[in-house]
Structure 1
C-alpha cells in the first residue's frame, strides 16, 4: 500500500472538476516529506502564463516535493484555457496554500473566485508576482473589490494590488517586445541573497517595463533593455536600467507580515534561460520560507516536454484543457493544437 501511495502521489496529477472547469495538481509530496502547497494563478492575455506557470509547478513538485495547484482562466462554456477570460474556478485552493504565485492581467473575477484571493492576502500569505501582475486587476468602481484595481484611488490602498502588495503598479513599457530583449544585472550588494544562489547572468526575451518600486523594496537585479534579441546585444540607446527583480514584505491588519518577490518578467520564452529559471525557482523557495533548502545547483530541469509559444496577444494554443497538461510527461503545450492568430 505504501508503494502504491508513493507512486500515485509522485506521478499522478489530480484533477478536481466543477462542470468543465478543472484544477490541475502536480503532487510531489510523500508520507515522509509533506511538502508545502503552492498555488499558481495563470491568467494573462499576452505572455503565456498558461505555459510558464505549469512548467515551473512541475519542476517544484517533481524535483523538490511540493504540492503545486495550477489554476487557469478558462472559457466558461468549454472549460478550455482562455487567457485573460476573467473566469478562474478553483481559487478556494488558496485556503490552505503556503504560497501564491500570481501571473494575471486586468482580471475582474466573479466574487466567489476573487474572495479566496482577498482572504489569502488578509492573512498575509507570501506572494510571488510575475510580469503583468503589477496590473493584475481591472475592477469597476461599483465592485466591492475595487481597491485591488491597478489604478485604485483608495487612500489606504492606492494603486491597488500591484503597488500595495507587489510594490509597483503598471507604469508602461520600457523596451519593445521581440525587438529589445532584457538583461538582468544582479545588484552586487545582494549577491549573497538566497534567491540569487547559483544565478549568474539572467537574460529574458521580454521587453522591459518601467518600474519605481516602493521605497521599502530590496532590488535584487536591474533590468537593462538591449538593442537585440540575444544576450550579447548592446544596451538600447537612451534606456538606462531600472529595477526588474525585487523583494519586500506587506502586512495585514493584525500586523502579520508576508514575503513578496516581484519580477516584471516571466513570459513563456523567458524561462528557457537557465539563470532566470533558477531565479524563479529559488524565489518560490524563499517566499514560502524554505530558503535553507536553496542550493546553487538546485535541480531546475524541465519535467516533460516544454514547447513555449512565442508570446503575443491572441497567440495562445486553442482547444487546450487543463487536463491536457496532466502527468509529468504531457507536453506544455501540445504542439498539435493550433495557435490563435
Structure 2
C-alpha cells in the first residue's frame, strides 16, 4: 500500500513537473538520443503534429522525445502566443531538433538556448512555415537577424529559403510530391513514395548548395486523384512560367556552418502541416531525416505507423482547438 502511495505521489509530481511540455520516453531498444520537437504556429497545427511525431519517434524508433509548445497566460496551448516557448531547458540536451514554427519572438532565455543548440551543430528538420520561423524581435535584439523580413532571416540563412509566396492556390490546390530522379537514392528518401500534402506548394528557390529531394506538383484540386494544374504565373523575380514547369522544390537538404564554427545538417520541407503528416510517405521522410541528421543508418522502410489516434484539425488561421494542454498529449497509460 505504501509502495502504491509512493508511486502515485511520484506520478503526480512528474505530471506537475511536465505541465508545460510533454516527454516521451523511448520504447524498445533505446537509441540514446534526445529529439526536441518545437511547435508554435498560428495556422498549420504544429501543436497537434509535433506530439504525433514525438510519439512515433519514441515508441517506434527508440528516441527520447520532448515536445515544447507556445502557451497562453492560463497555461494552455495558444499558437498565437508568439513570444512563448515552454521549457526551453530541453534544448540544452537536444541531439536533434524537429520544428514547425511561424513568426516566433521568444524571450532572451529561450532564444539563447535555441541559438546554443544550433551553434553546437544539432541537425534540424524544419517543416512548412519554418522558412519564416521568426519575426518581431526588436531591432536592438541580439536575435534581430532571425526576423524573416531581415534579408530572409533565420530561414534564409539556415534552411536556404524564407517566405516568398503561395505558388499554388491556398486551400484550393494540393501538392503531389515528385521525387527528384537524380537524388532518388538518397537515404532520406529510403522507402518514401506516394507523397501527398493537402497544403499548397510554396514558391521556393533553395541555394546551389542544396540537394533537392522532392518537387511539388500543383494539383487542380485538394485530393491526390486530381489532375495537375496548368497555368502561368510570375515568380518573385518577375519571370513568368507554367506553375508546374519547372516544379518548385518542396523538400531539400544542405549542410550549413553556424556561428559556433560547427555544421548543421539541415532538412527543410515546405510540406508538413498536421494534415499533411497523415501521409505515410511524408512521415517516413521526416523519420529518415532524423536518422540521417544524427548519422545513424536509415532503415530500409522505417515504421511510421501512428501511435494512438491522430485526427488533425484542418489548417487555417483562428481554427486551432481551444483548451488543449500539454498533458493532454501524454501517452495513454
Q: Shorter-chain TM-score category?
A: 0.7 to 0.9
In the TM superposition, 1:234-249 aligns within 5 A as 234-238=227-231, 239-240=243-244, 241-249=247-255
Once the two structures are superposed, what CA deviation does each residue of 1:229-267 show, in whole Å capped at 9, x if it has no partner?
A: 111211222212110000001112453211000000111
Matching residue of 1:4: none
CA-based RMSD of the aligned residues comes to 2.0
Deviation at 1:28, TM superposition (A): 0.7
1:153-168, aligned counterparts within 5 Å? 158-168=151-161
Alignment match, 2:85: 88
Q: Which has the higher contact order (CA 8 A, sep 6+)?
A: 2
Aligned length: 308
Cα deviations by residue, 1:190-233 (Å, 9 ceiling, x for unpaired): 11111111112201110111000121100001111111111121
- Give the alignment's TM-score, normalised by structure 1: 0.86
- Using the TM superposition, give the Cα deviation of residue 297 of structure 1 relative to its aligned residue in structure 2, in angstroms: 2.6
Q: Which of 267, 286, 290 pairs up with 1:284?
A: 290
Whether the 8 Å contact between 1:15 and 1:22 is mirrored in structure 2 is: no
Deviations 1:3-33 (A, max 9, x none): xxxxxxxxx9x65638xx5121011157x63
Q: Secondary structure at the match of 2:20?
A: strand
CA separation of 1:148 and 1:254: change in aligned 2, threshold 3 A: closer
The corresponding residue for 2:20 is: 22
Q: Where does residue 6 of structure 2 map in the other structure?
A: none
Q: What CA distance in whole angstroms lies between the structure 2 residues aligned with 1:125 and 1:298?
A: 22
Match of 2:310 in 1: 306
Determine the structure 2 residue equivalent to 1:155: none
CA-to-aligned-CA distance 1:137-176 (integer Å, 9 cap, x gap): 0023132210111122xxxxx4221011111111111112
Shift of 1:59: 0.5
| Aligned 1:155-234 pairs, distance under 5 A | 158-234=151-227
* Contact in 2 for aligned 1:303/1:328 (Cα 8 Å): no
Alpha-carbon distance in structure 2 between the residues aligned to 1:131 and 1:257: 22
Distance across 1 between alignment mates of 2:185 and 2:55 = 27
113 and 253 in structure 1: CA distance in 2 versus 1, 3 angstrom threshold: closer
C-alpha displacement at 1:106, in angstroms?
0.6
Q: For the residues of structure 2 that align with 1:16 and 1:191, how far apart are their CA atoms?
A: 46
- C-alpha displacement of 1:178: 2.3
State the secondary structure of the residue aligned to 2:17: strand
Consecutive unaligned residues in structure 2, runs of 5 or more: 1-11, 232-242
In structure 1, the partner of 2:325 is 321
Q: How many angstroms apart in 2 are the aligned matches of 1:34 and 1:184?
A: 30
Note the residue ranges of structure 1 that are not aligned, 5 or more in a row: 1-11, 153-157, 330-341
Over 3 Å counting, the alpha-carbon distance change for 1:211 and 1:27 in structure 2 is: same
Report the Cα offset of residue 282 of structure 1. 1.1
Match of 2:121 among 124, 129, 132: 124
Aligned twin of 2:234: none
Aligned 8 A contact 1:124 1:250 in 2: no
Query: Is the contact between residue 39 and residue 70 of structure 2 (CA under 8 Å) also seen in structure 1?
Result: yes
The equivalent residue for 1:140 is 138
User: Matches of 1:34 and 1:65 in 2, distance apart?
Assistant: 5
Distance 1:282 1:16, change over 3 A: farther
CA distance in 2, matches of 1:178, 1:172: 14
Q: Which runs of 4+ in 1 moved over 6 A?
A: none
Give the alignment partner of residue 63 of structure 2, picking from 53, 63, 66. Answer: 66
**What does residue 300 of structure 2 align with?**
296
CA displacement at 1:328 relative to structure 2: 4.1
